[in-house]
Amino acid sequence: MKLGVIGYGLRIRSIISEIIKQEPSCKVTAIVDIRKDAISAELQAEGQHAIHFYDTAEEMLRIEELDGILIGTRCSLHTPMAIKVLQSGLPLYLEKPVATNMDDLIRLKSAFEASASKVVVSFPLRLTTIVLLAKEIIDSGKIGTVEHVQAVNNVPYGSVYFQSWYRDERETGGLFLQKATHDFDYINSLLGSKPAQICAMTSKQIFKGSRPAGLTCGNCEDNRICLDSSFFKTPDKQSWDSCCYAEDTGNEDSGSSLIRYESGMHVSYSQNFFARREAGARGARLLGYKGTLDFDFYTGKVNVYMHHTPRVETYDISGGEGHFGGDTALAQNFIDIMQKGADSLSTLDDGLLSALMCLKAKESAETGMFRSLDWT
């Protein structure tokens, strides 16, 4: 099984490792990356000498005989690279967000509708053991039809979005697309219902300031007292050293949205990027007439509270590695698509819908108006 990679970044490397661990016959045979010389030297030092490197995706697709393609570029290139692969009809593993603006999203939707490619979008949360258990309980009718959802994501590693390249909103499309895209997707998966309307609000209260653009921790006179200085970070986070209090720091540091679904029920969602340590939380509370279910990815706990009997059920889930076990499921699904023509468990339709929700949420926050979740 020959894999081609467009954008050999850290995230896609972890997925490739998971794929090869599950199916050793899978090998990376071709890479397109602007850092091809450095990557080639690194891989050769590891004993990998049979990988071909290319300057463009078109060249790789024309020359190589591949079984699947993985895209791990920076976010703004996800759409243009995906469109090139979709034209080939090959199975595609696409990192999120699938697009960073509406024009790209519409172009990607059109390209997918004209393609025979099966696509796995990197939405591991929908395939985690914890979400699958929650869905099993919800689908059983135990808590009744879900009529309200309260979801939260307090990100304890939020400095990456203000001190690394992620601070560039032109590259990321904003933090709804970076984080909420995962949460919107697993909520859609749990509900099995279509969202119809969204509104949102964002704030930038912490990571703002008048420090000069381009300032890094190493050049700052306060690098020994600033709590966000790279001098206080672990060695693998030392590269996050841009000043998060500089005038060129992008991204909101908190955001919230309300989503109305076709049934009339609504979801509230809130994310925060300056919570730290044990204040981190990610999960949801889903309420039906018969009971309430809640879970948190960090604690690995699922609780079911029955409304009309004095009974509480608690499940302790071992999350596994790689996005709480979801990466393992995504990797196996991509293998099954390449080998057996299986259906995707995290489709491009799912990715398009989640990105649409995020882009409309961003638009709502900028305009102060509700936005319909349609393609106009």
Helix axes 78-86, 102-113, angle to 10 degrees: 10
Let me know: does 155 contact 138? Beta carbons within 8 Å: no
Instruction: Give 321's pLDDT tier (boundaries 50, 70, 90).
Output: low
Residue with more model confidence, 261 or 40:
261
Same domain, 260 and 310: yes
CATH of the domain at 338: 3.40.50.720
pLDDT at residue 322 is higher than 70: no
Question: Which strand (E) or helix (H) includes residue 328?
Answer: helix 326-340
CATH of the domain at 179: 3.30.360.10
Same domain, 184 and 272: yes
Please tell me the predicted confidence (pLDDT) of residue 26.
95
For 160-185, what is the mean pLDDT? 93
Query: Rounded to an integer, what distance in angstroms lies between the CA atom of residue 22 and that of residue 18?
Result: 6
Q: What is the mean pLDDT of the chain?
A: 94
Please tell me the predicted confidence (pLDDT) of residue 240.
84
Please tell me the predicted confidence (pLDDT) of residue 329.
94
Same domain, 129 and 194: yes
Same domain, 363 and 295: yes
Domain that includes residue 222, residue range: 211-249
The number of distinct structural domains making up the chain is: 3
Please tell me the predicted confidence (pLDDT) of residue 236.
60
For 161-183, what is the mean pLDDT? 93
Question: Which strand (E) or helix (H) includes residue 301?
Answer: strand 301-306
Same domain, 289 and 368: yes
Same domain, 72 and 190: no
Same domain, 305 and 188: yes
For 216-224, what is the mean pLDDT? 90
Instruction: Give 19's pLDDT tier (boundaries 50, 70, 90).
Output: very high
Please tell me the predicted confidence (pLDDT) of residue 44.
85
Query: Rounded to an integer, what distance in angstroms lies between the CA atom of residue 330 and that of residue 351?
Result: 14
Same domain, 146 and 295: yes
Same domain, 114 and 148: no
Query: Rounded to an integer, what distance in angstroms lies between the CA atom of residue 304 and that of residue 286?
Result: 10
Instruction: Give 320's pLDDT tier (boundaries 50, 70, 90).
Output: low
For 339-346, what is the mean pLDDT? 97
Same domain, 135 and 216: no
Tell the residue number behind the tokens 């996005």, with chain if given: 323
Give the pair of three-digit tokens for residue 207.
Answer: 């990571």
Please tell me the predicted confidence (pLDDT) of residue 319.
55
Please tell me the predicted confidence (pLDDT) of residue 145.
97
Query: Rounded to an integer, what distance in angstroms lies between the CA atom of residue 363 and that of residue 101?
Result: 11
Same domain, 130 and 37: no
Please tell me the predicted confidence (pLDDT) of residue 325.
84
Which of these, 80, 132, 150, 90, lies nearest to 111 by C-alpha position? 80
Same domain, 255 and 366: yes
Cβ neighbors of 113 (< 8 A, separation 6 or more) are none
pLDDT tens for residues 243-296? Answer: 999 999 999 999 999 999 999 999 999 999 999 999 999 999 999 999 999 999
Query: Rounded to an integer, what distance in angstroms lies between the CA atom of residue 133 and that of residue 149?
Result: 17
